[in-house]
Structure 1
């Protein structure tokens, strides 16, 4: 399906498939291996993992066993958020490099601007040091692009002011009704691609009566509507699933949500105006 091989161009010229297969909360071993392998069989060509997920070994093995040419699959991993010192960054990356065992990483991200155990802590100096090591990894060719996750506008400005390489990506929590507009606007103004983790709010968007009604008008599921919304907003969604049926359904996005340039219903504007469609969902303190 074309949507799985369509690409965005990152700010360093590297192409990244417009949909990624997310592996957060997928345990290492059989489940991570089989779900990743299923995603590849279904045509996904962008796999997102992280050292903190604990499943890099299984993800890497699935990619190798699938037998795809390395240049035809895009793989992202992430630096644990609490590691901010130069040597620690290099050590963590080398462990990821070894665990994945796929020759190189396409995109390597700082997982968060603060340790997960202390969300919101200011780590400006530490992030600059960590980014310096990330730049070394990038220059080595072991990562084709580098970026960040959960960074707000202040955190992005801090890196851009004090380092040489602008992040290629900011991966943030993003779904219908929770689109972190300040971060998104700043990133787009500086050619930083927004990636949407939890684009389905870990399934909570399924409880939205508004999305359910609108999805019915397009004869699609709520997840399909929510993922298509991300794409039409110029954002890269990272849906996670473990069953073959859901993995396959999440790629069936060959429809268009109406816009002002199409017909009078302007459903994209309706979705843009939505209140939080999963208000009880956990929200990281990244907006600002």
Structure 2
């Protein structure tokens, strides 16, 4: 069984061991490597996602605004401008053979995360290239579909709220309740994605009970740090006035780096739990 001592001494020891393991695995340096691959795959991933969205009732403009709303304003403007230019100039290519190459490039970010998870679990990658790349592509497609359904839930959930409120003459408190349900559902879907990522991508598949805490940490940590960083940049960190036109690039890189560290830290949490349970079973 998964046993974690939540007393002060046990929790403090767990945090100390987590810090030591992160230092040993060089999580900060590994996060920088993952960020490099993520920045290369960020726009191809958005292109692939927009291509999928084109087959749904969602419009690219409204979807992009919802999808990128968690980004700081500088990064949001930078990303939105580039994506719109690419969509306008190469929409015909994206719907043909270019979509396959876009998917392949977009999977680089997931492939880098898989390498980081294997390192956190202290596993040596021995799988052939086609299997590793196929798994990365599969998770890229799955992630795109999950994001798509989350957006549909958020967008059409708002439409459904207005319809139900007007048709049944519901009180305004229903809007608040439905708002919470929609966003909690989105967070739950995100949590499921991290559970699958931590369990099914490593060389050796851990028990699902060993990845639940790491997935929970990553979901909550990513949401809080993204919101906090966005608030800081929008109100205090004036990167555009300091760095000019490249301010958006710098903000995007910092946000991707923070996200990489959070995801890898969640993997390190799982790695500690796996190591603890292996010792207990000996």
Relative to the length of structure 1, the TM-score reads 0.27
Going by fraction, where is helix more abundant, 1 or 2? 2
Mark the structure with the bigger radius of gyration: 2
Q: Which has the higher contact order (CA 8 A, sep 6+)?
A: 2
TM-score by length of 2: 0.27
